[in-house]
């Protein structure tokens, strides 16, 4: 009589769960001192840089063979431009989820945040040490960011039970989602690379982290470097 064997089983989303792929937009246009980005709702709205368009094409190629039931973008054009190649391949029209737009950076909007990061400005040092964006004057409070991001993910999950969707969003938002899902410190997941893919599975009782900062399609491997917000 043969012995009973119990193999390790592959992960399967629980019934009613929503599988969400979080794609950070491709690299956006460089910030130039004295030439702030156009603003949408008070937030910088740069287009994709040439490298970012390459990121978008590679994301499209990576995900073209996946079953995706819907695509979402934010109201900032770098997400729409990143989603475009995949949307064309799949014949899907991206929907807008405004509440997954980037963290509002207050007085550091319009591209100034990148300059402050490059200069290791004291405010940036405080931001990292305290784990709060709102040490930047006028920036979005941590509690407000968490509430809007959690609310948006909740709405998407309610709209797509037993489905997989791709959401083209921003580095700060991906970090916040991962923090909520894992219970980590607020900025523990800050640094998703442009064009990277992260993944959560949302159930009625919890959010399950499945991957973070997957860059296999970008040819950078483990050396793919993160970039500053905006």
Which residue numbers are catalytic?
A: 25, 102
Structure tokens that stand for 192 in this block: 């998703």
CB atoms within 10 A of CB 149: 23
* Through-space distance between the first and last CA atoms of the chain, rounded to whole angstroms: 64
| CA neighbor of 229 nearest in space, from 199, 200, 201, 187 | 187
Distance CA 47, CA 49 (A): 6
**Given the DSSP bridges, would you call strands 39-40 and 43-44 parallel, antiparallel or unpaired?**
antiparallel
Q: According to DSSP H, which parts of 6-76 are helical?
A: 50-63
Distance CA 35, CA 42 (A): 15
Contact 218, 58 (CB under 8 A): yes
């Amino acid at each position: 009589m043969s012995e009973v064997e119990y193999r390790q089983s592959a992960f399967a989303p629980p019934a009613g769960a929503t599988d969400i792929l979080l794609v950070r937009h491709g690299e956006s246009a460089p910030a130039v001192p004295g030439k702030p980005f156009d603003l949408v709702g008070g937030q910088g709205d740069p287009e994709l840089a040439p490298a970012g368009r390459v990121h978008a094409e590679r994301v499209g190629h990576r995900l073209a063979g996946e079953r995706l039931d819907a695509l979402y973008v934010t109201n900032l054009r770098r997400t729409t431009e990143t989603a475009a190649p995949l949307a064309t391949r799949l014949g899907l029209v991206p929907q807008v989820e405004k509440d997954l737009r980037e963290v509002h950076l207050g007085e550091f909007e319009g591209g100034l945040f990148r300059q402050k990061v490059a200069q290791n400005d004291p405010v940036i040092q405080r931001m990292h040490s305290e784990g709060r964006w709102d040490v930047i004057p006028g920036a979005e409070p941590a509690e407000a960011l968490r509430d809007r991001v959690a609310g948006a993910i909740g709405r998407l999950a309610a709209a797509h039970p037993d489905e997989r969707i791709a959401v083209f969003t921003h580095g700060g938002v991906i970090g916040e989602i991962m923090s909520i899902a894992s219970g980590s410190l607020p900025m523990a997941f800050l640094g998703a690379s442009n064009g990277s893919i992260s993944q959560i599975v949302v159930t009625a009782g919890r959010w399950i982290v499945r991957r973070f900062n997957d860059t296999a399609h970008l040819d950078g491997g483990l050396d793919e470097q993160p970039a500053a917000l905006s």
